[in-house]
Structure 1
Amino acid sequence: MIYCLNGKLIKKTLDMVVISCGGVGYQVLVPTSVAAALPAVGGEAMLYTMMNVTETDVTLFGFATEEQQTCFKMLTAVSGVGPKVGLAILNVLSPERIALAVSAGDHKAFTAANGVGPKLAQRITLELKDKVGKGLAEGLSLGDVGGMGAPAAAGGALSQAIAALASLGYSASEAAAAVAKLDESLPVEEIIKLALRGMARR
């Protein structure tokens, strides 16, 4: 498997790039957010990749971070979620938002992606709930949920807030639901305060 590519960007569209590595140009399908963040053609680019092999095709999918790569693997392991749907989900949700939606049972968040109806969205949250819920409660990054790597030193603000709420006795799903709609750019302390205030109103 090709784990990552690092080379010169020779072509770029909204959802596809070509990276030249060692004289070979690799065509890689990417989420639109990843393509937009890459440098202009001629610049150096690095992508984490996943190869999808079928009877008639071999396709490379590329991601800006290992978290996106791991998230894509988890999503495409769900029955009914193919690579195109996995990319569509990553087009509208960040890995952390995906983990929060799954842990909170918020299947409606996934219906914002092209090709994801209510039934498939429910299947995604159901099949991934155990995998991501434990990781969020322990304050791990999504990349660690699959059992790879050590706990993140800092982690996202939302993940830290969930870990703090879990230490106060709330379940992972309660904590995730409380912070899921909050702004992740807020300080962790503010997220915790708002989450506690929201839970007190229920």
Structure 2
Amino acid sequence: MIAQLRGILSHTADTHAIIDVQGVGYLVNISSRTQGQLAAQDGAVTVLTEMIVREDSMTLYGFHDASERDAFRLLITVQGVGAKAAMAILSVLSPADLSSAIMAGDKAMVARADGVGPKIAQRVVNELAEKIGRFPSLGDGLTINISGVTGGEDLPGASAMGDALSALINLGYGRSEAHAALLRVQQAGDADDLSGLIAAALREIGG
């Protein structure tokens, strides 16, 4: 399994790059966001990789950092989302933006990706809402915009917030209600760990 490549960028395009590692050229499928980051670098470049092995092929996918790789791993767990669709999503959404879309239930953001229709976008949002907290790296730089519920304020921190949101939903509260309560807790600074967030949010919901 190839987990990382470091070498000279010999060719780049919107969907792939060729990285020369000691005379061997590796074709790596990348998002357009990663393409832009690689093209801006001088000298040797480093990409994290994920290898997808099938009966008739072995394909490398490359990522600028761990958050993009983790987002890819998360996306391909969704029914109907293959590696190509996952890379299309990551071409239009940064990992933090993807986290924001998932936690806000915003399928329209996901559907901006080429080849991703509203049904698949809805599935991404629904299936990943409870998983997003398991990938702390996706929270780097996260801001959550809950338009129409809270006036669009920003809410930082994906890991504890994602777990708290999942817990509240599992307790039977609606997504919008749980989002709004967690935002009020965060703004008030009433708690900063998981148990505290849940307890404070329950107090908010209970009035």
Shift of 1:158: 2.2
Quick one: structure 1 residues 25 and 41, their matched pair in 2 at CA, closer, same or farther if it must change by over 3 Å?
farther
Give the aligned partner of residue 155 of structure 2.
161
2:120 matched residue in structure 1: 120
Pairwise CA RMSD of aligned residues?
3.1
TM-score (norm 2): 0.67
Q: Is the CA contact 1:9–1:40 (under 8 Å) kept in the aligned structure 2?
A: no
Q: How far is the alpha carbon of 1:141 from its aligned partner?
A: 3.2
Change in Cα spacing, 1:102 to 1:40, as seen in structure 2 (3 Å) is closer
Residue identity matched to 1:142: L
1:73 correspondence with 2:60 = no
- Matching residue of 2:199: none
CA contact (8 A) 1:135 1:142 kept: no
Give me the whole-angstrom Cα distance separating, in 1, the residues matched to 2:67 and 2:80.
Answer: 21
Q: Deviations over 1:87-109 (max 9, x none)?
A: 10001101011111111111121
Deviations 1:104-135 (A, max 9, x none): 11112111011111111111111111011x46
- The AA in structure 1 aligned to 2:127 is E
For 1:161, give the aligned amino acid.
Answer: L
Distance 1:93 1:33 in 2: 9
The residue type paired with residue 3 of structure 1 is A
Cα gap change, 1:171 to 1:128, in 2 (>3 Å): closer
Label 1:39 to 1:129 Cα distance change in 2 as closer, same or farther (>3 A).
same
Between 82-91 and 19-28, the greater mean CA deviation after superposition: 19-28
Q: Which runs of 5+ in 2 are unaligned?
A: 145-153, 167-174, 181-186, 189-207
Q: Which amino acid aligns with 1:95?
A: P
TM-score for both structures, normalised by structure 1 = 0.69
Of 138, 148, 153 in structure 2, the residue corresponding to residue 142 of structure 1 is 138
Residue of structure 2 equivalent to 1:200: none
Alignment of 1:22-33 (within 5 A): 22-33=22-33
1:17 alignment partner in structure 2? 17
Distance 1:73 1:157 in 2: 18
Question: 1:23 Cα deviation (Å)?
Answer: 2.8
Identity %: 37
For 2:96, the aligned partner's letter is E
Count of residues in correspondence between the two structures: 163
Alignment-mate amino acid for residue 155 of structure 2: A
Is contact 1:135–1:141 with CA below 8 Å preserved after alignment? no
